Amino acid sequence: MKSKSDKNQSKLPWWVELLFVQIGLPDSWLSKYLKKKKEAANFINENKKNIVYSAIIIAGILYIYPIVRYTSSSASCIDKTTKYLKSNNSNRSQNGIDINSLAVGYCHGGSLPE
């Protein structure tokens, strides 16, 4: 039978049992961990609004960054191709719209005219 003292004690979490009872880590580490855990919980409770706003801003940046990178890369490709076409086709009479459309087509998987 279990005694009254056994009933009053709560069961230890499995990780406390493993690390501090079975392996034998110092008890001071457990008290420091529990103190930091309590401080972190208090900090989160006091700053929930700021944490949510920060998470939304970070998620927005992570969502938009690939779009910005793709657009920048595409614009750079179009600019370089336009300069190349202007330097090689100086004797042909093509206007700027035609050269730009050829550059856009090339940067999106097309081929350059010969």
Q: Give the pLDDT confidence score for residue 26 in this predicted structure.
A: 93
Helix axes 27-46, 48-88, angle to 10 degrees: 80
Q: pLDDT (tens digit, 9 = 90+) per residue, 30-41? A: 999 999 999 999
Tell me if 38 is assigned to some domain. yes
Could you give the percent of the chain with pLDDT greater than 70? 85
Least confident of 31-40, 45-54, 96-105: 96-105
Tell me if 100 is assigned to some domain. no
Instruction: Inform me whether the pLDDT recorded for 21 exceeds 90.
Output: no
Domain count, the chain: 1
> Chain-centre distance of CA 69, in angstroms?
14
Tell me if 75 is assigned to some domain. no
Tell me if 106 is assigned to some domain. no
Q: pTM of the full predicted structure?
A: 0.56
Tell me if 85 is assigned to some domain. no
Higher pLDDT, 54 or 12: 54
Host domain of residue 19: 13-46
Q: How many Å apart are CA 107 and CA 101, to the nearest integer?
A: 10
Beta carbons of 100 and 78 less than 8 angstroms apart: yes
Tell me if 25 is assigned to some domain. yes
Tell me if 40 is assigned to some domain. yes
Six-digit token pair at 8? Answer: 């009053």
Tell me if 65 is assigned to some domain. no
